[in-house]
Structure 1
Amino acid sequence: MTDLDSERTHNLETVRKFFDLMHRKDIEAWGDLSAEDGRILVFYPPAGFGNSIDGKAAILGPSEASSVISNPSIRS
């Protein structure tokens, strides 16, 4: 296996884990996948929410990310 194949395999496993954790609404483990300077773009934010969630602390904290992920039916 080449370095490129290994990196691709790692990336695919991370993406699968990302969606699995989001589906299970395991916000803490899901947020742990984020880099310290990670950013979630929210293309259609509900009223009162920003269009991005910036930084791991905001992603993991009692924030917009957990509200939107745990209740995807929120609409503006």
Structure 2
Amino acid sequence: MTEYEASCLGKHRFPSRRTAKHRANAIRRTGGPALRAYECKRFCGLWHLGHHRGHATYLRGGPNNPTPVQELTP
């Protein structure tokens, strides 16, 4: 998996931070995880949603086999 594939490909792209934040809030209101909006400066220049640091539910192990992780709380 290339860095581009892991960072940008397959993720929804939002034209603005505001649009991405609205979608993140809608996901959280419907019982989904708390997500944050971040700008993809290196590849597409648009905005994506991702987990807050330390709150990921898996590590990418490959296209079809994510590796589950259990976060340790300090």
TM-score (norm 1): 0.31
Which of the pair has more CA radius of gyration?
1
Determine which structure has the larger helix proportion and give its number. 1
Determine which structure has the larger strand proportion and give its number. 2
